[in-house]
Amino acid sequence: MRTAGLVASVALLAAACGSDENVGQTGVDAPEIDCKGAETLAASGSSAQANAMTRFINVYQAACENHTVNYNSSGSGAGVSDFLAAQTEFGGSDSPLDAEAGEVADARERCGGNDPWHLPAVFGPIAISYNLEGVQDGIALDGPTLGKIFSGEVTSWDDPAIAELNEGVELPDQDITVIFRSDESGTTDNFQQYLQTAAGDDWGQGAGKTFNGGVGEGAKGNEGTASAVASTPGAVSYNEWSFAQQRDLQMASVINSGGGEPVELTVESAGAAIDAAEFAGDGNDLRLDLDSIYGTETEGAYPLVLATYEIVCSTYPDTEVAEAVKTFLSVAVTDGQQNLEEHGYIPLPSKFEERMTTAVEAIS
């Protein structure tokens, strides 16, 4: 536990130093909160929420001077593994626990026989980023075409499938280099779930945290894929929005399942899709049914949006840990949500806010 905490602490310091342009270190308004429980928590997981987590920690420390969370942005797969092994107090994952793989049962054992809960504290759009010199931003793509690109059926930027969606755009005769996540990733899982819903037979490779397309070059984390796109002419990838913004990458507009006009990724267009989300979990387990997002036909709705869950114990074996987790997440889902749109995230929709607060308060 001490080793894991040290590693996580080093990782957090590195992340904070690299995120100065995205998350302010001053001017944070401290919420009025009763700071209870353990002074230090260890957590790890989704790199998609790394910048939001840094924001949450800053606000938490402003409210609770002697408290902190050491968050290791190691990817969703590692976040789940660390939580199940009790190396961390909560895990960040862009995908829920896999019951068929035994993760729910393992989490229940890790939680002292108590149920795990999924709390969606961060919503982040997935950008389709690309690198085409001399081509304007906003190339239009749809689900079937993305399925063909990421499965290797479409291999050139001037392929008729792309040209048909971009009349009047001079597309280069240039090979497409697919960049995918080499690590187990909830971002990959969500992207592939989107392809299953929106591309249908034009994908056909299934979902999961490992990329199944069989083409391209791998890079670790959202940081790695964004960097690879920036340095690789002709590249295309799927990145959590804030990382594409950091690198000032070109981003495609997406035609959703309703057809119609291509939808640019904005706070408003992503929010329109989130509003259609339904809950799949019971009670305070707030797992989401995202099919209605990925397959949205709502005009002006951007369909590629993922939710990052904080995976917690409904009841912790250690009271001090429980109090600290509850306090930190109370900050994260309230004051921590302020200005998240400036960092590439969508603040919690109003329909989620009350249920999230209720769930956090029920942690014991």
Task: Quickly count: other Cβ atoms within 10 Å of residue 344's Cβ.
Answer: 23
Please report, to the nearest 10 degrees, the dihedral formed by the alpha carbons of residues 71, 75, 76, 78 taken in order.
-80
Q: From the annotation, which residues make up the binding site for phosphate?
A: 46-48, 76, 94, 185-187
Determine contact, residues 90/83, Cβ cutoff 8 Å. Answer: yes
Per-residue pLDDT at 4 exceeds 50: no
Q: Known binding site: residues? A: 46-48, 76, 94, 185-187
- What is the per-residue pLDDT across 100-125, written as a single tens digit (0 to 9) for each? 999 999 999 999 999 999 999 999 99
Is the pLDDT reported for residue 24 higher than 80?
Answer: no
Q: What is the pLDDT of residues 52-90, one digit of tens each?
A: 999 999 999 999 999 999 999 998 999 999 999 999 999
Higher pLDDT, 21 or 120: 120
Residue 274, pLDDT score: 84
To 5 degrees, how large is the angle CA 48–CA 202–CA 223?
20
Task: Report the C-alpha gap between 237 and 359 in whole angstroms.
Answer: 35
pLDDT of residue 14: 35
Residues 6+ apart with CB under 8 A from 13: none
Q: What is the pLDDT of residues 225-241, one digit of tens each?
A: 999 999 999 999 999 89
Domains of the chain: 2-122+312-362 (3.40.190.10), 126-273 (3.40.190.10)
Q: What is the mean pLDDT of residues 207-229?
A: 95
Q: Is the pLDDT of residue 171 over 90?
A: yes
* pLDDT tens, residue by residue, 120-150: 999 999 999 999 998 976 799 999 999 999 9
pLDDT band at 186 (very low <50, low <70, confident <90, very high): confident
pLDDT at residue 344 greater than cutoff 70: yes
Question: What are the two backbone dihedrals, phi and then psi, of residue 290, each rounded to the nearest 5 degrees?
Answer: -95, 0
DSSP string spanning 198-239? HTGGGT-S--SSS--S--SEEESHHHHHHHHHHHSTTEEEEE
Question: What pairs with residue 217 in β-bridges?
Answer: 179
Q: What residue type is assigned to position 251 of the chain?
A: M
Check whether 202 has a pLDDT greater than 60.
yes
Confidence grade of residue 335 (pLDDT, cut at 50, 70, 90): very high
pLDDT at site 343: 84
| Arithmetic mean of pLDDT over the chain | 89
- Return the pLDDT at 160: 98
Output the pTM of the full model. Answer: 0.77
pLDDT above 80: residue 195? yes
Q: Residue 291 — very low, low, confident or very high, per pLDDT cuts 50/70/90?
A: confident
